[in-house]
Structure 1
Amino acid sequence: MELQNIIGSNLLGFRSRLGLTQDQIAEFLEVDRSLIAHYEKGTREVSYVQLKKLSNLFNIDVEDLLEENSALRELNFAFAFRADGLEATDLKSISEFQRVVRNYIEMSKMKHE
């Protein structure tokens, strides 16, 4: 499967599991909603910056968005919030918080090595 299609399929899956709409993701990434549809169909490339933002929002590694094996992807996915009634500013705050937590966890691992 082509990488763009893998990313698109994973984006759709993570977005759906969290109950987020294409409009919410578009607003979070500050792009047009139609671009999210193209991403999910695999007809447009997603920039690394956008992959990083999405990984922070979904609380996953960027590599999980690139993973073709759904079993491996599912092992790494855990969602920590419900998307009902969330605004774009909420998504940005959640993403930033999850990024900080992930960095803290990585620093703790390095400290104990």
Structure 2
Amino acid sequence: MKNVNLASKRFKELRESSNLTQVQIANFLNIDQSYVSKFEKGERKLSVDILEKICNLFGCTLKYFEIEDEKYTPMSIAFRSNTLQNEDLEIISAINKVALNIRFINLMLEEVIIEK
């Protein structure tokens, strides 16, 4: 990851805007809460595997954490619970992964149509 400060900043923004705590994220990622804290401060880097899991959770691409101009289009999901458990985050992540793949396929199809 070339731009750790950008990745740290965007991760913290996504986490806070989703009303998730560092502890919830750490449990979801199966890492220690202090690791999340150090990443948000720009003191630690995250592996690509962990970043991909974060991308699935928040419905964004790896490019969003690497490129300043990359846009983020959040997934629209409504919850009826004030507290999310780790299992809930796993389900959200799986749903977002499918949605991201559909988004990618649609972009590829648009490019094919434009080329014709």
TM-score (norm 2): 0.81
Which consecutive residues of structure 1, in runs of 5 or more, have no partner in the other structure? none
Aligned to 1:14: 14
Q: Is 2:27–2:86's contact at 8 Å kept on the other side of the alignment?
A: yes
Aligned to 1:35: 35
Q: CA RMSD in A?
A: 2.0
Aligned to 1:80: 76
TM-score (norm 1): 0.83
2:56 and 2:67 map into 1 onto residues whose CA distance is 16
Relative to its length, the structure with more helix (as a share) is 1
The number of equivalent residue pairs is 108
Which consecutive residues of structure 2, in runs of 5 or more, have no partner in the other structure? none
Runs of 4+ in 1 over 3 A off after TM superposition: none
1:77 and 1:107 map into 2 onto residues whose CA distance is 16
Q: Is 1:26–1:33's contact at 8 Å kept on the other side of the alignment?
A: yes
- For the residue of structure 1 that corresponds to 2:31, the secondary structure is coil
- For the residue of structure 2 that corresponds to 1:76, the secondary structure is coil
- How many Å apart are 1:38 and its aligned residue? 0.6
Q: Which has the higher contact order (CA 8 A, sep 6+)?
A: 1
Identity, % of aligned pairs?
29
